[in-house]
Structure 1
């Protein structure tokens, strides 16, 4: 699953999204909270960077569409990718993080 797949799932036109830097900076992300949701126009609750063939863009979402995005991604994202994202976020924030994963199959 790619970010383009996510936008297609949400019905968002990538060209309508604001350009973003390659890497998310906390200050930039904080300033975007409250901007209109890219899907429905309600006040934004979260923002993230989506990587597309023509460059990176901001995806601002309300609470409901943030949850819908997370559910869509969780279905097709391997644990290794999710853990890599957590490690990257912790390093960017300058904090030590321990992640415990429970495998119900094992």
Structure 2
């Protein structure tokens, strides 16, 4: 399963938009199983678009372990990250 995660993450970082989308969709299906790894990747990532996708995956996983990260990003100056984190916190409150 870790290999699938790593492959999907590599795909998501590709410059080819379709391959990147394919990687994102693969990760979407397994995100809940890899929340800690996604959080680690988010913290290391420098590409804005990939950071947004990672935060979206983290939010959709609805894991209480993501609460601190989502709370911090909900206060971000970056509107995209802030909106995604706010939505993620709403999802967490629904579980």
Which is richer in strand?
A: 1
TM over 0.5: no
Question: Taking structure 2 as the reference length, what is the TM-score of the superposition?
Answer: 0.34
